[in-house]
Structure 1
């Protein structure tokens, strides 16, 4: 039997998580929309899109991690009974996000196309992906501002606004894709390059809407949104430190997956497109644990701010149990439906023959991958910043990348998937054990868990 406190925590988690999950699904649906529209336009353009997305995804995901301190610190000040400090956390986060976005944009434009041309890809792939990569890079500042705003609303327990805004942005993205990819407006560009401009328009509209919404909140002044924050060096350092830990983990993981895309590019255009489909579907599934990890971090952060060690442990374990159940359901749905999912991207028999079996295999790592991201966020919200990063380096850097290279050159795309399975199992085991150990050390462990 679950204790009343556990039932309450589970209810709070799911109430907060479902809009966050839908918002995170909206993020990936934008990429899915791009991939489906571009894939149906041209299989080769889909390969261009995948290769352009890979380096930008590394930077985007790392940057999102760097902003994770916004969510955790706001949850903590609420747990401490100081909601008026939330505005200061947001203002620091917006400035930080804008700085990161501009720096990332400049670096990607300067280095990205050159790097693609010198990675030993099949002839023409790097050159074809370069223009789309530049446009994706231009949208970075807008996107990171929107992420800061979403983290703020989620930590306040108001995630529905971010969810609605994300799906409106998806509508903008779809409309622009349908107009630009086949060049219905006669602008002279199409395919992956046009789709990147659709993403730019969607991200810009999302940032503008969320800023406007926060400024119109009835409690905005009470939260300190319009008040210049008093200097809090210790809080600012902690916010950056939390983000640095999360950003480092995200960088290791997403860089490893980007390297897998490069390995697929060395195998050929069909393998690159097939891996793009598998990775895209898996990334959409991953948004479920991403949403649950954010909700778990908020609840763990509030308990941590209230010095409630039992609440920290309870919130983390409930989050891990929830993600296990949900990702298992998704895996059981994906297994028999893999062929139809791949066909939605492209009906080329050569692509289907590679991607469908690989997607069936990929369903084996959904549960472990979900557990590891929830456990990692629970650790950080409980004050354990750097051990999750070390464990991600071990699983995805030291194990997955070399194993993926070896297996891919032996059994193709399936080899890449097997490497992900092994790394996810290692990561989930290490991180769950670490969280339990950290939570049990905290004060306030006398309450029922």
Structure 2
């Protein structure tokens, strides 16, 4: 069935209505890390290094857990499309058991992970401070996952603005808590970098409490009986969340670890290369928040359509979303091509760093469209509850193609930073092609065909 321009415009508007608050939430959440970095940098280089190292260890663990919980998005969106309201409430209650299952090992891992820093030959002075930072932030693990789980639940039901407002409040709480705990105000001891960890835990608790309170009082959610009494874990629902969520968590972790590996290799080239890479990747990460937010909305729209029993609608809505992701990233690519010097001048005045950073921004412009297509396609597949094959695709794209190509060109052939970034471009492009090919293949048939994958 062919769709008119009016249909495409209407779907695009609906997607942006759902996705815009998610994009804002992602960008505001980046502000939390930015605030921590700036405030730690005002203390000392040692405190800043401890926060950077601690965060580099914390983020892959947190990303894995949070990405696993995203499974609730397509689950409830499909139930919403099918108008199975009771199943939505049951899924929400069972999500809390999954949160508990994830948070306990994550908590203990963060408190006993200093050995990794020794293994990576981190400067000895940094290790005890970074270790204490991780112990402090570990207290926020459970509330972080409660907040994240409820957020993805709400986004699966197209309720996306509350997370944005809570994120704004969280940013203000973070600034205040950092100020008091890092600098020793209001009678508290001066905790430095460790205070940043405790501040983050306080922020996570704030987000969780506010979102739980909102969910309990939001009238449209009353029909789901989310807070009805439960006898305990119901493995039918938990298994479904794990089946969808774990591959999604692994996929997201593989992408994060690829960029982390490239950052480490940059450090082996030179200080200037590492600094330029950090600037360029920071810009690219900010741009990426747009299609990332849209991909969550795509998952909801595709899942809702499938719940209604229409693969055709799922296909249409998925490809409209993917097209918007590509369109937005085309605009960001143009921006990076036209104004790299202006963007870099915000970050550094060092001419050598700026020269390398500008060349990397040109390369970032090249992979903008690939990045938009891969995350859009991945989001569409997630809406179909299809995450296992995409996990394999990400492994092949990032670790069998992207990393080896980057290592060969950047290190072995001695091309340098640009060679490493060619690896990133290669991996993202392969992922973009394969994710979209799979979504196209899965949605060509009917519901019976879809269930066979």
Matched, 1:420 2:424: yes
Could you tell me which residue of structure 2 aligns to residue 91 of structure 1? 93
Query: Cα–Cα, structure 1 residues 322 and 40, in superposed 2: closer, same or farther, change >3 Å?
Result: farther
Q: Per-residue displacement from partner, 1:49-74 (whole Å, max 9, x unpaired)?
A: 33322221111111112112211111
Q: Would the alpha carbon gap of residues 256 and 233 (structure 1) be closer, same or farther in structure 2, given more than 3 Å must change?
A: same
Evaluate the alpha carbon distance shift between residue 206 and residue 98 of structure 1 in structure 2; reply closer, same or farther with a 3 A threshold.
same
Residue pair 1:43, 1:273 contacting (<8 A) in 2 also: no
- Who is 2:200 aligned against? 199
1:430 aligns with 2:434: yes
Output the aligned Cα RMSD.
Answer: 2.9
Select 2:290's aligned residue among 288, 291, 294. Answer: 288
Q: Distance in 2 between matches of 1:70 and 1:4?
A: 31
Mapped partners of 1:286, 1:75: distance in 2 = 24
* Structure 2 CA distance for aligned equivalents of residues 43 and 115 of structure 1: 21
The worse-fitting range, judged by mean Cα deviation, of 116-125 and 285-294 is 116-125
Residue aligning to 1:214 = 215
CA deviation profile, 1:293-338 (whole Å, cap 9, x unmatched):
1100001001111110110110110111111111222233344554
Which residue of 2 is the match for residue 442 of structure 1? 446
Provide the C-alpha distance between the structure 2 equivalents of 1:45 and 1:328, rounded to a whole number of angstroms: 38
**Residue equivalent to 2:381:** 379
- Of 25, 28, 36, which aligns to 2:27? 25
* Contact residue 310 and residue 444 of structure 1 kept, 8 A: no
For 1:244 and 1:355, the matched residues in 2 are separated by 35
Cα distance in 2 for partners of 1:429, 1:59 equals 28
Could you tell me which residue of structure 2 aligns to residue 143 of structure 1? 144
Shift in CA distance, 7/377, structure 1 to aligned 2, threshold 3 Å: same
Q: Secondary structure in 2 aligned to 1:219?
A: helix
Superposed CA deviations along residues 54-95 of structure 1, whole A, max 9, x for unmatched, are: 221111111112112211111011111112322211111122
1:237, CA displacement in angstroms?
Answer: 2.2
Shift of 1:44: 6.1
Whether contact under 8 Å (1:36, 1:346) holds in the other structure is no
Task: State the match for 1:175 in structure 2.
Answer: 176
260-269 or 244-253: bigger deviation: 260-269
Equivalent-residue separation in structure 2 for 1:293 and 1:256 (angstroms) = 20
How far does the alpha carbon of each residue in 1:369-414 deviate from its partner, in whole angstroms, 9 at most, with x for none?
A: 1211121121122242311111100111212223333444334444
Superimposed CA distance per residue, residues 261-292 of structure 1 (whole angstroms, 9 cap, x where no aligned partner): 33334446555454443333322222211111
Unaligned regions of 5+ residues in structure 1, if any?
Answer: none
Determine the C-alpha separation between the residues in 2 that align with 1:323 and 1:62: 23
- Going from structure 1 to structure 2, the CA distance change for 1:407 and 1:172 (only over 3 Å counts) comes to farther
1:246–1:153 Cα change, 3 Å: same
Residue 257 of structure 1: which of 256, 259, 268 is its match?
259
Deviates more, 1:248-257 or 1:14-23: 248-257
**1:109 maps to which of 108, 111, 121:** 111
* 1:87-127 alpha-carbon deviations (Å, 9 max, x no partner): 2111111221233122112112212x221222145675656
* Residues 50-129 of structure 1: pairs in structure 2 closer than 5 A: 50-111=52-113, 113-121=114-122, 129=130
User: 2: CA distance between counterparts of 1:73 and 1:236?
Assistant: 11
Q: Matched residues in 2 for 1:36 and 1:3: separation?
A: 46
C-alpha separation in 1, matches of 2:194 and 2:274: 18
Q: Structure 2 CA distance, aligned partners of 1:118 and 1:400?
A: 25
The size of the alignment, in residue pairs, is: 443
The alpha-carbon deviation at position 423 of structure 1 amounts to 0.9
> Which of the numbers 347, 360, 368 marks the counterpart of 1:358?
360
Q: Secondary structure at the match of 2:112?
A: helix
Quick one: distance in 2 between partners of 1:71 and 1:229? 21
Equivalent positions of 1:380-399 (< 5 A) are 380-399=382-401
Residue in structure 2 matched with residue 189 of structure 1 by the alignment: 191
Shift of 1:41: 5.5
Shift of 1:29: 2.1
Question: What residue in structure 1 maps to residue 160 of structure 2?
Answer: 159
Larger deviation, residues 399-408 vs 209-218: 399-408
Moved more, 211-220 or 360-369: 360-369
Instruction: Name the stretch that deviates more: 419-428 or 323-332.
Output: 323-332
